[in-house]
């Protein structure tokens, strides 16, 4: 961008995977910022409730879940009040689910940009995944209130918080990379995503605790990348149980694998985007 003096760019057909040019990506960081800002602004423009929407979704979901799962189905919640149990699980989940939906259609939705302007295409699913973070932090503020109400004091585990947020973002981006790239070629991916997200919710320990799953199957929970993350979110913020490091560890490895493979597939398909989209 502006930091190029006299650089030579070579354009020629490339085969297979091309390593990400981190220097180039860094020079486009402003574009990432502006695209994310655009998505956030557009979401809130001309709305009356503005940022309040970020609270409504988790809050009312919590209310409904508490009613049906907490009260009627009598779901166990590791000894803590169900509302806060489910709310802490919902926060990263809602961020993840929204980021996924946005990211999966992000490339196709920006077809006009992709066919007319050059920039590293990874910026598009990345900015789609970033936008939801603002909502996440707004919803966190309600959590603060709830913790006071239920008299929870954050434990040392809270230091893990930035790492967990980072992992959630990475997970969203990774799956986003896969889905957005696949969606360019196979347009029905878009219809698979809502279904995928629904099933994923039930497979993750949002509504129910990991402890409810029989011990010998608990490792399966770890295979779900969001499984370890959500469980650790709870343990670290509420301190009612020790953090299950093995669960978190396995999930982290899965997330990294998803990320690297997603990156690979995305870069491999990137050169065909403008032609196929």
Partner 1 sequence: MSETVIKVENLSKRYRIGAREGFKTFRETLVDSVKAPFKRIVDLGKPVPHAEMIWALKDVSFEVKKGEVLGIIGRNGAGKTTLLKILSRITEPTKGRIELKGKVGSLLEVGTGFHSELSGHENIYLYGAILGMDRYEITRKFDEIVAFAEVEKFVDTPVKRYSSGMHMRLAFSVAAHMEPEIMLVDEVLAVGDAVFQTKCLAKMKSITSQGRTVLFVSHNMAAVGSICQHGIVLEEGNVLFEGSIQNAINFYEGEIFHKKYLHESVSERKDRSGTGEVRLVGFHIENEDGERIDRIPNGRTVKLVFDYRTRSDRGAKNVDLGILVERENGERVFQLGTRFTGQKFHHILPKGYIVCTIKRFPLVAGRYKLGAYLQSESNPADYITALTYLDVVDGDFYGSDYQVYENETRILVDGTWSCYPLR
- Burial (CB count within 10 angstroms: exposed 0-12, middle 13-18, buried 19+), residue 183: buried
Least distance from C-beta 185 to partner 1, angstroms?
7
* Among 129, 120, 130, 110, residue whose Cα is nearest residue 184: 110
- Burial (CB count within 10 angstroms: exposed 0-12, middle 13-18, buried 19+), residue 244: buried
Alpha-carbon gap, residue 66 to 38, rounded angstroms: 35
- Note whether 4 binds partner 1 by CB under 8 A: yes
Alpha-carbon gap, residue 92 to 236, rounded angstroms: 13
Binders of partner 1 in range 153-172 (CB under 8 A):
none
Rank residues 127 and 168 by Cβ distance to partner 1 and give the closer one: 127
Rank residues 141 and 185 by Cβ distance to partner 1 and give the closer one: 185
Rank residues 189 and 222 by Cβ distance to partner 1 and give the closer one: 189
When binding is defined by CB under 8 A, the residue of 56, 67, 117, 220 that contacts partner 1 is 117
* Among 169, 194, 164, 201, residue whose Cα is nearest residue 179: 194
Tell me if 174 sits within 8 A of 259, measured CB to CB. Answer: yes
Least distance from C-beta 257 to partner 1, angstroms?
23
When binding is defined by CB under 8 A, the residue of 20, 42, 49, 73 that contacts partner 1 is 42
Least distance from C-beta 217 to partner 1, angstroms?
30
Q: Which residues contact 129 (CB under 8 A, 6 or more apart)?
A: 99, 102, 103, 169, 172, 173, 176
Binding-residue total with partner 1 (CB under 8 A) = 40
Rank residues 114 and 254 by Cβ distance to partner 1 and give the closer one: 114
Three-state DSSP at 208 gives coil
- Note whether 115 binds partner 1 by CB under 8 A: yes
**Which bin fits 153, alpha (ψ -120 to 50), beta or left (φ > 0)?**
beta
- Note whether 151 binds partner 1 by CB under 8 A: no
When binding is defined by CB under 8 A, the residue of 20, 21, 26, 34 that contacts partner 1 is 34
- Note whether 116 binds partner 1 by CB under 8 A: yes
Three-state DSSP at 175 gives helix
HSE of 87, CA atoms in CB hemisphere, 13 A: 24
Q: Which stretch binds partner 1 (CB under 8 A): 38-46, 62-70, 227-235, 248-256?
A: 38-46
User: What count of other Cβ atoms lies within 10 Å of the Cβ of residue 166?
Assistant: 12
- Note whether 25 binds partner 1 by CB under 8 A: no
Binders of partner 1 in range 179-198 (CB under 8 A):
185-189
What residues make contact with partner 1 under the rule CB under 8 A?
A: 1-2, 4, 6-14, 30-31, 33-35, 38, 41-42, 45-46, 112-119, 185-189, 271, 274-277
């Amino acid at each position: 961008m502006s930091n190029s003096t006299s650089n030579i760019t070579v354009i020629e057909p490339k085969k297979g995977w091309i390593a990400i040019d981190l220097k180039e990506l860094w020079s486009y960081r402003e574009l990432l910022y502006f695209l994310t800002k655009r998505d956030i602004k557009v979401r809130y423009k001309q709305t009356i409730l503005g940022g309040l929407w970020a609270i409504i979704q988790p809050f009312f979901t919590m209310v409904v879940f508490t009613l049906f799962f907490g009260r009627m189905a009598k779901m166990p919640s590791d000894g803590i009040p169900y509302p806060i149990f489910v709310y802490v699980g919902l926060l990263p989940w809602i961020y993840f689910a929204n980021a996924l939906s946005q990211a999966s259609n992000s490339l196709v939705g920006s077809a006009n940009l992709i066919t007319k302007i050059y920039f590293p295409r990874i910026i598009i699913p990345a900015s789609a995944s970033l936008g939801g973070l603002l909502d996440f932090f707004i919803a966190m503020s309600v959590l603060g209130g709830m913790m006071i109400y239920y008299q929870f004091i954050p434990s040392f585990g809270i230091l893990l918080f930035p790492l967990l947020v980072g992992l959630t973002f990475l997970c969203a981006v990774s799956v986003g990379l896969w889905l957005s790239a696949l969606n360019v070629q196979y347009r029905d991916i878009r219809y698979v995503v809502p279904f995928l997200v629904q099933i994923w919710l039930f497979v993750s320990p949002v509504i129910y605790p990991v402890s409810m799953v029989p011990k010998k199957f608990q490792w399966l929970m770890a295979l779900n990348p969001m499984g370890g993350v959500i469980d650790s979110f709870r343990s670290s913020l509420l301190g009612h149980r020790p953090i299950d490091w093995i669960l978190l560890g396995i999930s982290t490895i899965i997330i990294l694998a998803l990320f690297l493979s997603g990156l690979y597939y995305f870069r491999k398909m990137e050169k065909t985007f403008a032609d196929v989209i």
